[in-house]
Structures are given as C-alpha cells and as structure tokens.
Amino acid sequence: MTEASSANSSRRHHWRRDIVELAALFTAVAVADVVANTIAHGPSGPVLLCTAAVALMATAAFHVWWSRRHENAPPPTDTGATAPSAAGQAPRAGGQETALWRMRTTVRDEPGSLAALCTALAARRVDILSLQTHPLSDGTVDEFLLRAPGALTPAELTRTVAGAGGSQSWLERADAHDLVDAPTRMLGLATRTALDSAELPLALRQLLGRCTIHSVPARSLSGQPLAEQVPAEGVLEEHVMKFRDPSGGSLTIERPQLPFTPTEFARVRALVDLDTRLGQRVPPRRDVLTLPEGNEITVRRADTSDLVAAREMHDRCSSQTLALRYHGPVGDADRYLGHLLSPRFGRTLAVETASGRLVALGHLLWDGDETEVALLVEDSWQQRGIGAELLRRLVAMAAETGCESVYAITQASNTGMVAAMRGLGLPLDYQIEEGTLVITARPTGVPAQRGLRESVRIQDATGRR
C-alpha cells in the first residue's frame, strides 16, 4: 500500500467514526429527555433524580480509587527473571549481600566458549562488570571483574567456571578501586610513574596484583657486578619477567601463583620505557617547619644528588648514632648511601637547616611485599621532634601507596626510635630477631596532629616562598 492510499483510508475511517459518535450522542440525549420527563412528572420525580445523581457520583469515586490502587501496585513476581536493582548491584541470593571478585580463567579459542562461560555465571546470578582478554597461542585468558551473591563461595564459583570450560582459574577478592576500566587504569599508572621515579615499583605492583619485584643494582657495594645482562626488549617467562632497570642493573618481577601473559608483558615494558626516557626525577615539593625553639627547617624529597651532603652529615654524626642506624661497622655507613638515596628502592626525605645543611634523613624502602622505615638524625639536632616528624610523614606515604605494614629494625637501647614509633598512635607489634628489635606498624590511618608547626606549606623548586 502506498503512502497516498494509506492517508485516504485513514481519512475515511476518521469520518465514519465521527458520524457514529454523533449518532450515539443524539440517541443518548433523546433517551435522557424521555426518562427525565417521565420521572419528573411523577410524584417522586425530584427525589429519584437526586438519588440517581448521588449513585453516579459514588460509582465514579469508587472507579477512581480502584484504578489508582492497581496502578501503584507492584508487578507480579516472576521467579524465572531477575531485574537489576536501582543501585546497580547484582541480584542478592537468599537476601545476602554481594561481593566483588577478580577472576582469571583460560578458555578454548573457539566460537561460543566465552558465551558458555557467561551463561554459566548468569545462571548463578553473577554479574560481569568488566572483561579483558589476553590472547595466547593455544587459547585466551579472560580476566573478569564479578559481582556475585555473598552466599556463593569461592569453591562454588570456581566449579561453575570449570564446568563451563574454564581452566587454570584464579580468584581473589576485589574492591571498589578495581571498578576502573583498563585504559583509565593504565593512564593513571603512567601519570604516577612520570611524576616520580620511586613510583615505578608501586605502579607495577598495582598493575600485576600480588607479585615480588627485585631491583638489582649493576654493582655491589664492593664494586663487583651483580645484575645479569638483560636484552633491551626484556624477557618473558611463565612466572618471571625481566627488564633493564632504568637506573642501571636489572628489574625482575615474579608471580608464582599466576603466569604472566604477553599483554601484561607489553604493559609493563611500556611503563619501564616511559621511566627510562624521563630519567631520574623527584617532586620539587618543600615544606618549611618551625621547631619548638623557633628555628626553621625544610623537609623535602632527596635522591642521589644529595650523596655528598649525606656523607658530610655522616662525618658529623657520632659512632654510636651511626651504629644504631646501620647495625654494623661504622666504616661501611657511606657505602649504603647510594642504595638508600636511589628512588628505585624507595623514597627518602631530607631535612635541611635555614643555611642549607643536611641534618636528617628518613628512608622508606620497598622490601618485596613489605616496607621498611629508617631514620638518621645528626646528634646536635636530636630530641627536637625531627625524627618523629619524619617518621609520621614516611608512614603516611606508605599508607598512600597501599602498604599494609611498615617495620623498623633497631635496638632496644634506641629509645628515640621506639618512642617515635609509639608516638604514631598506631597498633604496633614487637619481636626480637637475631638480637635486634623489629617494630611493625599498621598504617591504616595516621593521626592528623603534627609534632612541629608548619609555617610555610609549599615552596617551589628554587626555594622561593
């Protein structure tokens, strides 16, 4: 049927409907007139008309009430379908809360393999929030972010995946930070790496999950070669990745519980290449604090450019102070400074006087999955709150990077370090290992109070206020 014939047919139906409605209206008026004349001339005519009007009004009111009641009523329950909640959470199983999971599994590289896996998860009311694929030569590794009913145990979830064709599955709890898509996550990690040389190990750990990162210097303290020669393009093995460390030496990443994929290898190599191209860099932030006696000191980040000033501070420290800090021969203290000041192995805070002399160092050192904190304050500047201020700032840095625990190795006679750790106001664990005291803090939250008054918040790189 053409558009013209369709329009003509619509107009004919329109006129027919109008004629029928007019005929019905005239008929209704005629009937109403006959009924009204018949009732009105009777002995009870007015009473009957009023009664009829009240009855009609009551009927209309009842109809309105009934319509509104059924309009607002909830829809009938259908046990065969599940609707998502307004909050965007997955359906609840048995009235229980949901849980976030990160899951990896290997599926056959065949059409329908992923669909079968998704169907099996949907049958258990598991919501797939995100999906990344890592192609392999003999299959595909699929990485899911799942929201599952709280009653669904990890074993049940793993069996469901295995029954749908998944193999070599790996499962761990996730949190709200994992709700970021992969491109946004990589851009954030690249930004952190570009701003600070010390961020590369932390960025790699966030990218790869639970892993161990070994940064081996090119030479030992005695000058002997340490790091192996790694090709420029890096090395990918099943559970190990190796790269050239941008600061010299080698960078080895191990993850025994989960093999690496070529996609992960490419992402890590991109971050390492970015770090290599930018060179060593430290944020130029400088905080000026006021000591109780009124002197001003500056707290800033330090790196290997401070090596000469750090050695001069060593010369001004007593043998006892150096022994408490380095737990070994005093003559070896200078040999550790190159390692301690390198951003590759952690972060270092330096304290300068108004004249620019270095009087204290605080180190936050990455030690595999743990983090060590260490302090050294020149003798003539001790007992002024400098060590406590450095420790508070270092532990706050550890908390920002997601470290679950920070430990300090000292001696029981080092009352200053013990007092500084206690002054954090955090839960502490004490244990003796090989004659030394190890104090572990859980930096879940660092108290907001400050030991020193901060007179100027930030200076620029040149020191201008």
Tell me what the mean pLDDT of segment 274-285 comes to. Answer: 84
Tell me what the mean pLDDT of segment 66-92 comes to. Answer: 43
Return the pLDDT at 25. 62
**Average pLDDT, rounded, for the chain:** 77
Tell me what the mean pLDDT of segment 226-249 comes to. Answer: 85
Is residue 347 domain-resident?
yes
Could you tell me if 413 and 295 lie in one domain? yes
- Span 172-182, pLDDT tens digits: 888 776 777 77
pTM: 0.58
Return the pLDDT at 447. 45
Give the best-scoring range by mean pLDDT among 14-23, 113-122, 449-458: 113-122
Please name the residues in contact with 173: beta carbons below 8 A apart, sequence gap of 6 or more: 99, 100, 101, 102
Asked whether the beta carbons of 121 and 165 are under 8 A apart, the reply is no
Can you give the CATH number for the domain in which 388 is found?
A: 3.40.630.30
Give the DSSP per-residue string, 129-168: EEEEEEE-SSSEEEEEEEEEETTS-HHHHHHHHHHTT-EE
Calpha distance 250→239 (Å, rounded): 17
| Locus of tokens 């625990």 | 405
Could you tell me if 368 and 453 lie in one domain? yes
Return the pLDDT at 352. 94
Please name the residues in contact with 164: beta carbons below 8 A apart, sequence gap of 6 or more: 116, 117, 119, 120, 121
Q: Higher confidence at residue 358 or residue 402?
A: 358
Tell me what the mean pLDDT of segment 433-453 comes to. Answer: 67
Local confidence band at 462 (pLDDT 50, 70, 90 cut-offs): very low
Q: Higher confidence at residue 47 or residue 254?
A: 254
Return the pLDDT at 458. 33
Local confidence band at 434 (pLDDT 50, 70, 90 cut-offs): confident
Could you tell me if 234 and 366 lie in one domain? no
- Span 157-170, pLDDT tens digits: 989 999 988 888 88
Question: Of 179, 207, 231, which residue sits at a domain end?
Answer: 179
The gap from C-alpha 428 to its chain's centroid, in whole angstroms, comes to: 26
- Span 335-377, pLDDT tens digits: 778 888 888 788 899 999 999 999 999 999 887 667 899 999 9
Return the pLDDT at 312. 92
Could you tell me if 225 and 335 lie in one domain? no
Tell me what the mean pLDDT of segment 47-70 comes to. Answer: 64
Local confidence band at 40 (pLDDT 50, 70, 90 cut-offs): low
Range of the domain at 389: 286-459
Is residue 167 domain-resident?
yes
Q: Are strands 212-216 and 250-254 parallel, antiparallel or unpaired?
A: antiparallel
- Structural domains counted in the chain: 3
The gap from C-alpha 168 to its chain's centroid, in whole angstroms, comes to: 25
Could you tell me if 424 and 297 lie in one domain? yes
Tell me what the mean pLDDT of segment 132-155 comes to. Answer: 86
Local confidence band at 22 (pLDDT 50, 70, 90 cut-offs): low
Token pair in block for residue 260: 């690496």
3-class secondary-structure state, position 258: coil
Calpha distance 426→447 (Å, rounded): 8
Q: Higher confidence at residue 336 or residue 95?
A: 336
Could you tell me if 161 and 197 lie in one domain? no
Return the pLDDT at 333. 66
Return the pLDDT at 63. 64
Range of lowest pLDDT (127-141, 324-338, 420-434): 324-338
Could you tell me if 208 and 321 lie in one domain? no
Q: Is residue 236 pLDDT above 70, yes or no?
A: yes
Calpha distance 447→423 (Å, rounded): 10
Tell me what the mean pLDDT of segment 43-68 comes to. Answer: 65
Is residue 109 domain-resident?
yes
- Span 374-395, pLDDT tens digits: 999 999 999 889 999 999 999 9
